[in-house]
Amino acid sequence: MRRFLPWLLVTIIIIIRLIYFYQGRPSYPDGTRLRITYRVTSEPIRYSSSQYLRLRGFKVYLPLFPEVNYGDRVIIEGRVDGEILKDPSLIGIKERGGNLYYLRKRLIAFYQKSLPNDHAALVAGMTLGSKANIGQDFWAVLKESGTAHVVVASGMNVTLIASFLTTFLVLVIPRRRAIFLAIVGIWLYALISGFDAPIVRAAVMGSVAFTAQVLGKVYNATRALFLSAFALLFIKTDWLYDLGFILSFVATLSLIIFVPKLQKVFKALPKGIRENLVTTLSAQIGVAPILYIAFGQFNVLSPLANILVLWTVVPVTIIGMISGIISLVTVPIGTLILWLSYPLTLWFISVVNVFG
Amino acid sequence: MSNRWKLFIFLLVLMAVTLWLAAISYPGRNLRVIACDVGQGDAFLVIRGKTEILVDGGPGNKVINCLNNYLPFWDREIEVIVLTHPQADHYSGLIEVFENYSVKYFLANALDSSSSNYSVLKSLVGGSQTVIINPTSSVSMRLDLIYLDILSPSSEFLADNSVTTYEQKDRRTKELYQTNNGVLGAYTSEQDPNQFSIVAMLSYGEFDALFTGDIDNKLSDDLAEIIKQKYNKPLEYIKVPHHGSKNGLSQSLLGSSNWKIGVISVGKNNSYGHPHQEVLKILGEKDIKILRTDEMGDVVIATDGKNLIIPEN
């Protein structure tokens, strides 16, 4: 009983928070003219003649220019029509000036100038979670083949950064301090990558894991997952509707549950293939029904497509990060290194086009 | 094998494959003139080896796909971009082009457009290393083995029809304007922007291609005179003016040389009814091969400077 008491408490708090959230939510009848001032908290998606963003629960489709970027403060006026803000007009836009936003913009511009656009979008998506430059056609193909999750910077990036930082920092400074700096690094990355729900989820979990290490406590992934989910929902209750958040949560949960079991089932397969297959299948078990509900479509071949392309994600992300950092000092050398990702992105795009 | 070795070998393989892909994608020695399928608008890509010339960017951002398909992945510089005149179906795609490539020379009129998208393009070009040239007839440039002669607009036409906006601006802008180089949006005009279209003749060996922008019948007639005077040789390729509109190609322009190919860049089922039947008829009468982007997608002509490779339609 003792063990469950804290959880009971947390659950009650979250329920109270949800009730509070729903009651405090203003509702606007159709036709109301609204003026929203808001800081854009996730990257707008660009279509061939419009850009799409979500503002306070409303879908807004703006003309392509001026470009709205993650971090900008915008003033938008429009008419409520269901969950869409119709006839929106952009009244004001103020770019966020901070160094991190500048860094993010500069990196994306570097990818764009160094690779053909689908390839650049793929690298920017994998390393920074930037969806802005993914063309409409390419986005459709990614969705149909069930590989769109790759282009959204995911929890995996956080893991990559965390292990990268700890491996190097431990060499130069004491362990405890290294772990502390790694946590700082994770959160800086979360900020650069647009503070999207999946990244923040992973950042919280990573921080919990690291803290457990420092304190010498046993890290329980399931517990950390639920704890981070509750904490995030408490702070940002509207993430309850954020598909990225839900998918990230469900995928992680089903990885925790099914990976050990499927490892046993496929133990006859060679290691490289098995890892890919097991990870993909485990995640799909939880994610597939949600994708089906959300998009009404599910590609039966998507596990196969995933197995064929997933191995490229880690090297592309690493090449993207290293070349990006080098490009801040010297662009030509950064470009040369970035080109090493071209065969991988070419493979990714070709495979995805077959399945999509 | 240790992990470090595996990583090393993976890196070596990656480098080898990248080098191979770079080598394979090197464009051939032939010159290619590509009418990109950008819908209702113009975007023509001329490419030979590492040299590229882009005439207009079309509406939307489809032009980027065209560049992706024909440029090797490592070539991130476009030597020349010509914007015939500042109308959305000619410049919109250029915004994305300037975001994705570095551009050496930008040939465009100083004619302004009130559209906010044009301001985006102007500030993008202004913030880049690109050299802006406001060409008038008599300007010629050479790139590699490709020659580009500007045939229109004439400086007299510009002087007569432009209202400079520099009066409200500071003296520096005025000086810039007077050198007549390197400004975008220095003047406005009562005239139709189509009349300002930059017309250019591109030559490579014995091959010549005429890019006409959106000129009207009268300008087509004027152009015919210039061509008869200036070019004493057979010309092959004509971009049919104004997407095949009735107010574009004229009989005399067609009569100015022995054209072989007429390319019409036009969107499927466009609301303007382009190309006009009459234009198709006069092209047919002259036995000129008509190639249309709405029927064929990208229209690619290749030449070694003597022989032409023309796609079947």
Q: Is the pLDDT of residue B244 over 60?
A: yes
Contact call for B18 and A343, based on CB within 8 A: yes
Of A77 and B172, which is predicted with more confidence? A77
Q: What are the φ/ψ torsions at residue B236 (nearest 5 degrees)?
A: -105, -45
> Under CATH, domain B26-309 is a member of which superfamily?
Ribonuclease Z/Hydroxyacylglutathione hydrolase-like (3.60.15.10)
**Total of domains in chain A:** 2
- Of all residues in chain A, what percent are helix, strand and coil, respectively (each to 5)? 65, 10, 25
A273–chain B Cβ distance below 8 A for any pair: no
Calculate mean pLDDT across residues A161-168: 81
Contact call for A113 and B102, based on CB within 8 A: yes
Rounded to a whole number, what is the distance in Å from the CA of A290 to chain B's nearest CA? 33
Residue of A nearest to B72 (CA): A116
- Do the beta carbons of residue A54 and residue A61 sit within 8 Å? no
Residue of B nearest to A121 (CA): B100
Statement to judge: residues A193 and A58 lie in one domain: no
Contact call for A65 and B76, based on CB within 8 A: no
Using a CB-CB cut-off of 8 Å, the residues of chain A touching B67 are: 116
Residue of B nearest to A111 (CA): B100
Amino acid at A269: L
Per-residue model confidence as pLDDT tens digits over A100-148? 778 888 999 999 999 998 999 999 988 887 877 787 788 888 878 878 7
Q: What are the φ/ψ torsions at residue A134 (nearest 5 degrees)?
A: -80, 120
Q: Is residue A24 part of a domain?
A: no
pLDDT of residue A37: 84
Concatenated DSSP letters of B209-221: EEE-TT--HHHHH
Our CA angle for A168, A223, A216, nearest 5°, is 50
Q: Which residues of chain B are at the A interface, by a Cβ-Cβ cutoff of 8 Å?
A: 10-11, 14-15, 17-18, 21-22, 60-62, 64-65, 67-68, 71, 73-74, 76, 95-96, 99-102, 116-117, 120
Contact call for B68 and A315, based on CB within 8 A: no
pLDDT of residue B175: 52
State chain B's mean pLDDT as an integer.
Answer: 90
Structural domain boundaries in chain B: 26-309
CA distance A301 to A283: 15
Using a CB-CB cut-off of 8 Å, the residues of chain B touching A106 are: none
Using a CB-CB cut-off of 8 Å, the residues of chain B touching A117 are: 64, 68, 96, 100
Q: Is residue A15 part of a domain?
A: no
Statement to judge: residues A110 and A79 lie in one domain: no
Contact call for A340 and B99, based on CB within 8 A: no
Contact call for B68 and A65, based on CB within 8 A: no
A93–chain B Cβ distance below 8 A for any pair: no
Using a CB-CB cut-off of 8 Å, the residues of chain A touching B71 are: 116
Chain A, window 137-176: residues with a beta carbon less than 8 angstroms from a chain B beta carbon: none
Residue of B nearest to A337 (CA): B15
Calculate mean pLDDT across residues B208-218: 95
Statement to judge: residues A212 and A331 lie in one domain: yes
CA distance A258 to A221: 13
DSSP one-letter code for A300: T
Amino acid at B98: F
Statement to judge: residues A54 and A112 lie in one domain: no
DSSP one-letter code for B297: S
pLDDT of residue B208: 96
Using a CB-CB cut-off of 8 Å, the residues of chain B touching A115 are: 73
Statement to judge: residues A134 and A214 lie in one domain: yes
Chain A, window 201-220: residues with a beta carbon less than 8 angstroms from a chain B beta carbon: none
For chain B, the straight-line distance linking the first and the last C-alpha, in angstroms and rounded, comes to: 57
Per-residue model confidence as pLDDT tens digits over B113-154? 988 889 889 989 988 989 999 998 888 999 989 999 999 898
Statement to judge: residues A49 and A134 lie in one domain: no
A90–chain B Cβ distance below 8 A for any pair: no
- Residue A87 CA from chain centroid, whole number: 29
| Interface contacts (A, B; CB < 8 Å) | 54
Which range of A61-65, B174-178, B233-237 scores highest in mean pLDDT? It is B233-237
Mutation target among B8, B20, B68, B123 for the A interface, most CBs of A within 10 A: B68
CA distance B23 to B211: 32
Using a CB-CB cut-off of 8 Å, the residues of chain A touching B61 are: 48, 135
Mutation target among A67, A113, A164 for the B interface, most CBs of B within 10 A: A113
Statement to judge: residues A55 and A186 lie in one domain: no
Contacts of A174 (CB under 8 A, 6+ apart): none
Per-residue model confidence as pLDDT tens digits over A271-325? 777 877 788 788 878 887 877 776 656 677 877 888 788 888 889 988 999 999 9
Tell me the two tokens of residue B238: 């004509």
Statement to judge: residues A37 and A113 lie in one domain: no
CA distance A128 to A40: 16
Cβ-nearest to A65 among B10, B100, B120? B120
- Domain containing A73 equals 31-95
> Which one of A95, A123, A138 terminates a domain?
A95
Q: Is residue A238 part of a domain?
A: yes
- Do the beta carbons of residue A27 and residue A55 sit within 8 Å? no
Question: How are strands ordered across the β-sheet holding A33-39?
Answer: A33-39, A73-81, A84-94, A58-63, A50-55, A45-46
Using a CB-CB cut-off of 8 Å, the residues of chain B touching A64 are: 117
Statement to judge: residues A206 and A297 lie in one domain: yes
Q: Is the pLDDT of residue B212 over 90?
A: yes
Calculate mean pLDDT across residues B239-254: 93
Contact call for A116 and B18, based on CB within 8 A: no
Per-residue model confidence as pLDDT tens digits over A21-32? 777 667 788 888
Cβ-nearest to A48 among B11, B61, B73? B61
Q: Is the pLDDT of residue A79 over 50?
A: yes
> Which one of A67, A95, A123 terminates a domain?
A95
* Strand B187-188 versus strand B163-164 pairing type: antiparallel
A49–chain B Cβ distance below 8 A for any pair: yes
Of A95 and B158, which is predicted with more confidence? B158
- Of all residues in chain B, what percent are helix, strand and coil, respectively (each to 5)? 35, 25, 40
Q: Where are the alpha helices (DSSP H) in B103-205?
A: 116-126, 155-161, 171-178
CA distance A228 to A203: 9
Statement to judge: residues A227 and A346 lie in one domain: yes
Rounded to a whole number, what is the distance in Å from the CA of B4 to chain A's nearest CA? 14
Q: Is the pLDDT of residue B179 over 50?
A: no
Residue of B nearest to A49 (CA): B60
Statement to judge: residues A212 and A151 lie in one domain: yes
Mutation target among A117, A337, A346, A353 for the B interface, most CBs of B within 10 A: A117
Per-residue model confidence as pLDDT tens digits over A205-255? 888 888 888 888 778 888 888 888 888 888 887 777 777 788 888 888 988
A66–chain B Cβ distance below 8 A for any pair: yes
Amino acid at A244: G
Rounded to a whole number, what is the distance in Å from the CA of B284 to chain A's nearest CA? 35
Statement to judge: residues A182 and A321 lie in one domain: yes
Residue A158: CB atoms within 10 A of its CB come to 26
Contact call for B73 and A117, based on CB within 8 A: no
Q: Is the pLDDT of residue A167 over 60?
A: yes
CA distance A103 to A347: 29
Cis bond before residue A315 (omega within 30° of 0): no
